[in-house]
Amino acid sequence: MDFSMLRNLISRYCVGEENWVDNRTVYIGHREPPPGAEAYIPQRYPDNRIVSSKYTFWNFIPKNLFEQFRRIANFYFLIIFLVQLIIDTPTSPITSGLPLFFVITVTAIKQGYEDWLRHKADNTVNRCPVHVIQHGKVVRKQSCRLQVGDIVLVKEDETFPCDLIVLSTSRQDGTCFVTTASLDGESSHKTYYAVQETKAFNTEEEVDTLRATIECEQPQPDLYKFVGRINIYLDGNEPIARPLGSENVLLRGATLKNTEYIYAVAIYTGMETKMALNYQSKSQKRSAVEKSMNAFLVIYLCILISKALINTVLKYLWQGDPGRDEPWYNGKTQSERQRHVLIRAFTDFLAFMVLFNYIIPVSMYVTVEMQKFLGSYFISWDEEMFDEELGEGALVNTSDLNEELGQVEYVFTDKTGTLTENNMEFIECCVDGLVYVPLSVCNGQILPGASGIDVIDSSPEPAKKENEELFFRALCLCHTVQVKEEETVDGIKRGINQGKGTSFYISSSPDEVALVEGMKRLGFTYLRLKDSHMEILNRKEEIERFELLEVLNFDSVRRRMSVIVRSGTGQYYLFCKGADSAIFPRVVSGKVEQIRARVQHNAVEGLRTLCVAYKMLSPAEYEEVCHLLTSAKLALHAREKKLAEAYDVIEKNFILLGATAVEDRLQDQAADTIESLHKAGMKVWVLTGDKMETAAATCYASRLFRRSTQILELTTKRTEEQSLHDVLFELSRTVLRQRRSMLRESLSGLSNDFQDYGLIIDGATLSAVLKPSEDGSSGSYKEIFLDICRNCSAVLCCRMAPLQKAQIVKLIKASKERPITLGIGDGANDVSMILEAHVGIGIMGKEGRHAARNSDYAIPKFKHLKKILLVHGHYYYIRIAELVQYFFYKNVCFIFPQFLYQFFCGFSQQPLYDTAYLTLYNISFTSLPILLYSLIEQHVSMDILKRDPSLYRDISKNSLLCWRIFIYWTFLGVFDAAVFFFGIYFLFDDATFTSNGQLMTTNTQMMFGNWTFGALVFTVLVFTVTLKLALDTHYWTWINHFVIWGSLLFYVVFSLLWGGIIWPFLNYQRMYYVFMQMLSSGPAWLSIVLLVSVSLLPDVLKKVLCRALWPTTTEHIQTKRQCLAVERSAIFMLSQTSSSIGF
């Protein structure tokens, strides 16, 4: 938005034009309108080149480096590297330069490769030929040369090269079919319309004679919104203005289907197309683990700085004695002597920083990234989450949030299509209180239509016959279903199955398909829409034709749709169907009470109900309606609002006909999943647009509410009786009393058989609760509401608008515990919620892929939520938690001895370890075991995690990364480091020995120097740190064995090699034979064994004691796993069977 604003401003100043700040005028075929119209102002638009690549050949290196060093971590390491280059530091620049170089190079190669692919893709897209009409001829052009205003010919199965307005199509009625699968994933065919006045121009020559301008808004990213107007200059000078809406716009990326060709005019090109505008970054979500990791980093940065400061200060205190600063044996150079003391101190500080900088290793970021990236494959690889029917498994759109899946506290789920199948089945209809049930499907065979009516109450009287047929006709006419005559259609398809077995009904709404199909079974078959006439085959096998005059489309605010038709006898009808709440207030006559009773009955059964009403229009009334609609449609500004107003005026004074009931079955294992989520300590909220009774029934069916659950209602019905204030306070009193008694019980150790509560709230009440009231007490309402919610195990929010869903999520997210939320849904109406929640999960449902596209993870079915949270989420969390803690631990172990050594080398920044060890410690000696651990660790087996959802509570609230555990790990690191250092120190101390017997060869004693000291500490360090991980590993596959023992072996082999030869390219040979000499010493072996044992001892002891004295649930399970495995699986099987029976 900002971008287009900016561009508008710029273009305004450049051209000096005012009138197209918000609009653009497109001259079709670049032809001037006839004189007298507006002046022809050629406007400049970008060409149709798509540039998705970031870099060019020339700017790749500088730009990529700039991008990479903009990341703070990289920048930090660059600074360290530069400091090493500039000042005289203890370690060579290679130690930090090499890892940094590695990371930067790998990232650059990856990005470069991706960019190269993008270039290639861009080129193929930009160079692909398009057909443009110029001077009545078809000319081939490269796609990137396309200009706004060009008339384009698109043939069947071709993709639109830019955003186009349909002028005419090969079909007589000016329609064309389009699939937007690559844009929003919806594979169903959508119909787009040409403007009536232009649809006749369907040859090259004719189109070339068309003189028209299009005024439309400047490009904006909303795929489903478009407002514009076409001015057609026919013979006369007075232009004909026609409105253009999203039904006239063909978007780049969509594909033309079932239409031979179309002529269309380009309106948005290149980077201004809606597709290009839509691929803007989503806001980055950060996981709780990442937040704690950052907190830990800050702590470690403080530790680093304070270490460097302490050492610098101590150095200058110690050097106060001149004999120490520069003894005769260790002179300084002239330049060193002359340097100012402050500069020297600062240099020393930097040198200490460099010496200790490994405490924040580059490799941690690399490892975390790799763990997340590689780990996310396990989700998409999971066979259990693969849906045969859909042919798709789980999708990972971001791997940043893997571990957040293990932290979810609130689950916000949509109902339709998420909890339920969104696979509609027409169950019954009720006309004037009489209930009709189509004899249902037997083995897929539908019984002949005429005999399909089973009247429950009484046989229809002749007088009612008319209403009944009107009802059926209404349902046959009032919809937007298309008839598809091929089999190769994806999406919703049902055979019409009458002679022509290859016809299907297609619609974006499965309810409509179910209704039209239900009507067919009741004897009224909708055949097709032909030349604006809807054809119906009635019970007497006669074709009735109705002219379709207007369609008042469905929207989620009105919750109804209408059509205006003219029957064969010339009567105007307005048929309307919609939610009961949307219809009843607008009804003036009809058997309202009976129908209302039936609707409520059905809703309680969990059926989706719709009401049908109609009214007759006189021709005069119709004219008025027409006028209203046209003027609203022609409006360029606020068209939506004007249309809504017009609809409001038109859709009233109905005569109620009846109601329908459609069943939406629960998804497979939905109840089991919800139950597991509850046991895992998650609160499940259902947010639905459906009405309360239906939603509540679904909740009972899915065991969100149990029989024992006490339902608290916070609905408009209640708030009408009492004030909202009273209701809220009453509810909170009920809940709080409960909690207090619960507390008392838990204190006195009684069983926790407590009443659980379920809350039902509707959209209207919710907005009342959230609305800031005049006296400013809204805050307290919100608080009370949250307090009630917190004490309810399940909450049902019905009658929610899409934005309200997001509002609720936001409200919970912002509450004082800051819980982790998860939003799951399948439709476009859930997108806001999915984007708002910490983790957004999309279901690849029937209502298109909009949700899946915007989600972080997409799964085929609701039941997969159980596995993705309880198993994958749990694993990812414990894995990354260990990864983070272990990384800090191993670097404390690594650096702390170096810190201690400064006290024994005159604070001279002498590194304890050799350069190679400093460099390779994090890169190769200790990197693979933890990476592999963090990929394949399973502390308990998958089946147990699924069977025992309560284990999820053990890791809730980021418990493995809380400060207590972080401090434990840090202290363990400090302890281990002290053990390594002082253990070796006492061996080297003068009072004991500094040499050893060379047992194998001669019986002489060799002296050990400082590098042997370092190598010994380092060896103990590598072994301790690796074995510590081995102790933490609960799942030893051959890979673990391979990497753990392999990296120890690698360390030994490397050390032997590193010390084994005189390296020609190095100017020092300090490590020559140091490692071999060390290994030839008996005490060195003995001390390695001893110190490794001592370092590991406290951790083992802590583990064992905690397990024995204060075991967590997880530990209980682990301990008991073996003995109870058989028995438990039997119990599990039984409970499964019973639940499926109960279901």
- Which residues, numbered 901-930, are part of the site for another protein (CB under 8 A)? 904-906, 908-911
Site string for another protein, 867-896 (x = CB under 8 A): --------x---------------------
Binding residues for ATP: 414-416, 512, 554, 577, 608, 688-690, 799, 805, 829-830
What is the C-alpha to C-alpha distance for residues 1143 and 1141, in angstroms, rounded to an integer?
5
Considering only the stretches 194-202, 321-329, 650-658, 731-739, report the one whose residues sit in contact with another protein under the rule CB under 8 A. Answer: 321-329
- The residues facing 483 across adjacent strands are 505
Q: Does 349 bind another protein (CB under 8 A)?
A: no
Q: Does 63 bind another protein (CB under 8 A)?
A: no
> Please, which of residues 268-297 interact with another protein by CB under 8 A?
275-276, 279-281, 284, 286, 290, 293-294, 297
Write out 129-172 in H/E/C secondary structure: EEEEEECCEEEEEEHHHCCCCCEEEEECCCECCCEEEEEEECCC
Closest CA to 1027 of 940, 1119, 933: 933
Q: What is the gyration radius of the CA atoms in the chain, in angstroms?
A: 37
Q: Which two tokens stand for residue 404?
A: 């957040």
What is the C-alpha to C-alpha distance for residues 544 and 904, in angstroms, rounded to an integer?
102
> Please, which of residues 673-712 interact with another protein by CB under 8 A?
679
Cβ 371 vs Cβ 884: under 8 Å: no
Tell me whether residue 365 or residue 729 sits nearer to another protein (CB atom): 365
- The residues facing 244 across adjacent strands are 228
Question: Residue 966 CB, nearest distance to another protein (Å)?
Answer: 15
What is the C-alpha to C-alpha distance for residues 122 and 143, in angstroms, rounded to an integer?
11
Which residues fall within 8 angstroms of residue 247, CB to CB, at 6 or more apart?
191, 192, 193
Asked whether the CA dihedral 138, 144, 148, 153 is positive or negative, the reply is positive
Q: Which of 93, 361, 393, 823 binds another protein (CB under 8 A)?
A: 393
- The residues facing 242 across adjacent strands are 230
Q: Does 994 bind another protein (CB under 8 A)?
A: yes
Binding residues for Mg(2+): 414, 416, 826, 830
Q: Does 963 bind another protein (CB under 8 A)?
A: no
What is the C-alpha to C-alpha distance for residues 937 and 885, in angstroms, rounded to an integer?
15
Binding residues: 414-416, 512, 554, 577, 608, 688-690, 799, 805, 826, 829-830
Q: Which of 10, 1105, 1130, 1133 binds another protein (CB under 8 A)?
A: 1105
What is the C-alpha to C-alpha distance for residues 1060 and 1073, in angstroms, rounded to an integer?
6
What is the C-alpha to C-alpha distance for residues 409 and 423, in angstroms, rounded to an integer?
29
Considering only the stretches 144-152, 238-246, 377-385, 782-790, report the one whose residues sit in contact with another protein under the rule CB under 8 A. Answer: 377-385
Tell me whether residue 41 or residue 85 sits nearer to another protein (CB atom): 85
Which residues fall within 8 angstroms of residue 309, CB to CB, at 6 or more apart?
349
Q: Which of 357, 367, 829, 1012 binds another protein (CB under 8 A)?
A: 1012
Helix (H, G, I), strand (E, B) or coil at 1009: coil
Question: Residue 58 CB, nearest distance to another protein (Å)?
Answer: 19
Cβ 162 vs Cβ 273: under 8 Å: yes
What is the C-alpha to C-alpha distance for residues 129 and 117, in angstroms, rounded to an integer?
20
In the chain the first and final C-alpha atoms are separated, in Å, by: 50
Q: Does 50 bind another protein (CB under 8 A)?
A: yes
Q: Which of 482, 996, 1019, 1055 binds another protein (CB under 8 A)?
A: 996
Q: Does 995 bind another protein (CB under 8 A)?
A: yes
Which residues are identified as catalytic? 414
Q: Tokens 């033309």: give the residue.
A: 256
Which residues fall within 8 angstroms of residue 67, CB to CB, at 6 or more apart?
111
Cβ 530 vs Cβ 545: under 8 Å: no
> Please, which of residues 300-319 interact with another protein by CB under 8 A?
301
Q: Does 143 bind another protein (CB under 8 A)?
A: no
* Count of residues near another protein by CB under 8 A: 157
Cβ 564 vs Cβ 571: under 8 Å: no
> Please, which of residues 236-275 interact with another protein by CB under 8 A?
275
Question: Residue 298 CB, nearest distance to another protein (Å)?
Answer: 6
Tell me whether residue 40 or residue 365 sits nearer to another protein (CB atom): 365
DSSP state of 926: T
Q: Does 3 bind another protein (CB under 8 A)?
A: no
Question: Residue 66 CB, nearest distance to another protein (Å)?
Answer: 13
Question: Residue 733 CB, nearest distance to another protein (Å)?
Answer: 31
CB atoms within 10 A of CB 223: 20
Which residues fall within 8 angstroms of residue 351, CB to CB, at 6 or more apart?
87, 88, 89, 90, 909
Q: Does 1003 bind another protein (CB under 8 A)?
A: yes
What is the C-alpha to C-alpha distance for residues 951 and 672, in angstroms, rounded to an integer?
16
Q: Which of 1097, 1125, 1133, 1134 binds another protein (CB under 8 A)?
A: 1097
Q: Which of 4, 159, 398, 956 binds another protein (CB under 8 A)?
A: 398
Site string for another protein, 769-788 (x = CB under 8 A): --------------------
Q: Residue 61 is which amino acid?
A: I
Question: Residue 356 CB, nearest distance to another protein (Å)?
Answer: 14
Q: Does 498 bind another protein (CB under 8 A)?
A: no
Tell me whether residue 117 or residue 616 sits nearer to another protein (CB atom): 117
Considering only the stretches 20-28, 745-753, 826-834, 1006-1014, report the one whose residues sit in contact with another protein under the rule CB under 8 A. Answer: 1006-1014
Question: Residue 91 CB, nearest distance to another protein (Å)?
Answer: 10
Q: Which two tokens stand for residue 896?
A: 């702390």
Q: Which of 136, 568, 619, 1082 binds another protein (CB under 8 A)?
A: 1082
β-pairing, 151-155 vs 261-268, is antiparallel
Q: Residue 126 is which amino acid?
A: N
Considering only the stretches 36-44, 106-114, 626-634, 654-662, report the one whose residues sit in contact with another protein under the rule CB under 8 A. Answer: 106-114
Q: Which of 5, 9, 117, 1057 binds another protein (CB under 8 A)?
A: 117
What is the C-alpha to C-alpha distance for residues 705 and 690, in angstroms, rounded to an integer?
17
> Please, which of residues 833-862 interact with another protein by CB under 8 A?
none
Considering only the stretches 20-28, 127-135, 375-383, 515-523, report the one whose residues sit in contact with another protein under the rule CB under 8 A. Answer: 375-383
Q: Does 820 bind another protein (CB under 8 A)?
A: no
The residue ranges of DSSP E strands in 456-556, in sequence order, are 482-484, 504-506, 525-530, 533-537, 543-555
Cβ 305 vs Cβ 353: under 8 Å: yes
Q: Does 1000 bind another protein (CB under 8 A)?
A: no
Tell me whether residue 480 or residue 1113 sits nearer to another protein (CB atom): 1113
Q: Which of 38, 44, 61, 75 binds another protein (CB under 8 A)?
A: 75
Q: Does 1002 bind another protein (CB under 8 A)?
A: yes
Q: Does 480 bind another protein (CB under 8 A)?
A: no
Q: Which two tokens stand for residue 987?
A: 């061996």
Cβ 854 vs Cβ 185: under 8 Å: no
Question: Residue 935 CB, nearest distance to another protein (Å)?
Answer: 9
Q: Which of 790, 1083, 1132, 1143 binds another protein (CB under 8 A)?
A: 1083
Tell me whether residue 458 or residue 1067 sits nearer to another protein (CB atom): 1067
Q: Does 56 bind another protein (CB under 8 A)?
A: no
Q: Does 208 bind another protein (CB under 8 A)?
A: no
Q: How many CA atoms lie within 13 A of 430 on its CB side?
A: 23
Q: Does 1101 bind another protein (CB under 8 A)?
A: yes
Tell me whether residue 332 or residue 744 sits nearer to another protein (CB atom): 332
Considering only the stretches 107-115, 160-168, 212-220, 1048-1056, report the one whose residues sit in contact with another protein under the rule CB under 8 A. Answer: 107-115
